[in-house]
Structure 1
Amino acid sequence: MNEERAERVRQAVRASYAARASGHAEGCCGEGGDGGGCCGHGAGHEAAAGQAAASSCCGSGGCGGAEDHQAGGCCCGGAASHAEQVGYSLVEISSVPEGAEMSFGCGNPAALAGLQPGETVLDLGSGGGLDCLLAAHRVGPTGRVIGVDMTPEMIDRARGNARQGNYANVEFRLGEIEHLPVADATVDAIISNCVINLSPDKPSVLREAFRVLKPGGRLLVSDIVSMAPLSEEARSDEGLWCECLSGAEEVGALERMLRDAGFVDVLITPQDESREFVRSWAPGASVVDLVVSAIVEAWKP
């Protein structure tokens, strides 16, 4: 991807998530509500735009804000069901301030990363702060959690959620995950939830992740991967890219990127059961049949 096209993707993603954070997406949950309006799945692409925009609500903070829904219907009552579907427990969701759960992404990386008291954790693309706040519970008062997001509106929202819950061990920094505002070798664990696929420059993301990890540190993320090559038409669809679909890398390609960045013990585990909720992100778009959620693990020697 050339730099001009990559910049268009970045701007589209930034604008999409700024609108979601601000509650500007039209939806049945109410502007400024828990989900900030509808999640806007389908906004911007041609094939499924109308149907997807009508059928996706609650969880506007990112991909995976809603489970399967009926076109034109409201899914507000289904948010808890979707949370459980991707791996969150109701106990976890009830433990964070209302409004932090803007979306549930495609997994629960904080629960899978084996976080320990006293560790420093970095969340790539922290959105409304849900995974950071859950990680904060796991690392305790002697630990530290840093969330990085490129959208000022998301940073503001996440900071508000942290203040509301009196989280003293969490901070949110404005920045791009391709250029992390984090010092070298200062992080024990990196988590991320359905965000790396949004980057048009994934090798830079992974090199930066490697840089900030301490020796022996680990990366454990939930993300979307493709199980077959995506068409150039799909790759060039910025709307589908914003829905965490068109930016998905094939498993083998992502493994190579991780190893090229310096990681070892790379393991990518596709979650076939995720097909059901992924299809709901852009009903009618052919790309949804080619992608699934995956758990991505890698270590810094």
Structure 2
Amino acid sequence: MQSENEESQKLKALVREKYSEIAVRSEKGEAAGCCGPAGCCEPATGEQAGDGISFDIMAESYEGLEGYQPDADLSLGCGIPIEFAGLKPGQHVLDLGSGAGNDIFVARSVVGETGRLTGLDFSEAMTRKARANAEKMGYGNVEFITGDIEEMPLESGRFDVVLSNCVLNLVPDKKTAFAGIFRVLKSGGHFSISDIVLEGTIPEPIRKAAEAYVGCVSGAMQKEEYLDIVRASGFSDVTVRKEREIIIPQDWLVRLLGEEQSKILEENHFRVLSITLNGKKS
């Protein structure tokens, strides 16, 4: 039986591997979102593969936003945290799980040349891609570094705003992650985070089946438990600004689980949610 630490390390290794694969595939011009066969989760097999189901169900469109760069958008998010970030010119912004730089580049359009932006990602391949994108666009006030969100290689009290988009649910130790966010924020700073949470109780086998479809819910926890961790980390004014249900197609659930077990989801009011929340370091 694996220890909790061994399980955490295994999950981290899987996340690093899959996101690195996404970065490499994107360099080859191959699309790969977070969910589904080409995404950050285990490849679909058997009837799950090529069955006509759309796996791109979590990402929201950034098209039309100022600063948007298509080459940096790998459809890995589940929201648009910048919508509620309250960014201002001159601020120093940190994006956790920065990927190819999508949120960083949109944020730069607001903080401007006088601002500074730092992206932290677990995958060296992603960091390289983000740096290449920044260099291509001539952005001198943007940096991308490789590191672990649970052990951020960043000094305390450095940032005005912390962003993150569909990443913290993949971090095994969320208490440590939010404690780190609190640490690196300046006094009076705040975060805007989009993430995946769950509502309703569900038997573990059926939960795992749901995760097989909405792959990036791996590591997601109950909404209220998640919010309790955020508040316990020291943040005030913790507010859910946006909530959206991720719909798991009923026909897929029936095909995978059968009629009887698929009904358990509905009876237990089980939902997979994308939420965007804010919190402040007083």
Normalised TM-score (structure 2): 0.81
User: Percent of aligned positions with the same letter in both sequences?
Assistant: 34
Given the alignment, which residue of 35, 38, 52 partners 1:41? Answer: 35
| Amino acid across the alignment from 2:9 | E
Q: Counterparts of 1:208 and 1:150 in 2: how far apart (Å)?
A: 15
Matches for 1:61-72 after TM superposition, within 5 Å: 70-71=52-53
Measure, in 1, the Cα distance between the counterparts of 2:242 and 2:201.
15
The correspondence for 2:101, drawn from 129, 152, 157, is: 129
Structure 2 unaligned residues grouped into runs of 5+ = 257-261
> Aligned partners of 2:92 and 2:34: how far apart in 1?
33
2:22 pairs, out of 20, 35, 60, with 20
User: Cα deviation per residue 1:196-255 (whole Å; 9 max; x = unaligned)?
Assistant: 001111111100000000011101111111012454446778x74993213212121111
Kindly provide the amino acid, as one letter, of the partner of residue 91 in structure 1.
G
Q: Which of 177, 196, 204 is the equivalent residue of 2:176?
A: 204
Residues 17, 154 of structure 1: 8 Å contact kept: yes
Sort the Cα spacing of 1:152 and 1:178 in 2 relative to 1 into closer, same or farther, 3 A: same
Alpha-carbon deviations, 1:167-220, whole Å to 9, x = none? Answer: 111110100111112110010001110000011111111000000000111011
- Equivalent runs, 1:1-301 vs 2, <5 Å: 2-23=4-25, 32-33=28-29, 36-39=30-33, 41-43=35-37, 45=42, 49-50=45-46, 53-54=49-50, 70-71=52-53, 86=60, 88=62, 90-92=63-65, 95-229=67-201, 231-233=203-205, 240=212, 243-269=215-241, 271-272=243-244, 274-276=245-247, 279=248, 284=253, 290-301=271-282
2:34, 2:76 within 8 Å by CA — same for their partners in 1?
no
CA gap 1:5/1:134 in 2 versus in 1, 3 angstroms: same
Q: d(CA) in 2 for partners of 1:136 and 1:147?
A: 12
Shift in Å, 1:155: 0.4
Can you give the 5+ residue segments of structure 1 that lack an aligned partner in the other structure? Answer: 25-30, 56-69
Question: CA 1:53–1:166 in structure 2 vs 1: closer, same or farther (change >3 Å)?
Answer: farther
CA RMSD, Structure 1 to Structure 2 (Å) = 3.2
CA distance in 2, matches of 1:182, 1:18: 22
Aligned pairs, how many?
Answer: 263
Work out which of the two has the higher radius of gyration on C-alpha atoms and give 1 or 2. 2
Give me the whole-angstrom Cα distance separating, in 2, the residues matched to 1:99 and 1:42.
Answer: 21
Q: Check the 8 A contact 1:106/1:224 in 2, yes or no.
A: yes
The aligned counterpart of 1:64 is none
Letter in 2 for 1:253: E
Change in 2 beyond 3 A, CA 1:40/1:129: closer
Aligned with 1:92: secondary structure?
A: coil
Q: Distance in 2 between matches of 1:262 and 1:6?
A: 24
**Greater mean alpha carbon deviation, residues 222-231 or residues 160-169:** 222-231
TM-score, normalised relative to structure 1: 0.77
CA distance in 2, matches of 1:141, 1:51: 50
Structure 1 residues 255 and 96: CA distance shift in structure 2, 3 A: closer
CA distance in structure 2 between the partners assigned to 1:252 and 1:140 by the alignment: 36
Structure 1 residue 45, shift from structure 2 partner: 5.0
Give yes or no for contact 1:40–1:53 (8 Å, CA) kept in 2: no
The 3-state SS of whatever aligns with 1:135 is helix
Q: Deviations over 1:101-152 (max 9, x none)?
A: 1115111112320100000000010011100111111100010111000101
SS of the residue 2:218 aligns to: coil
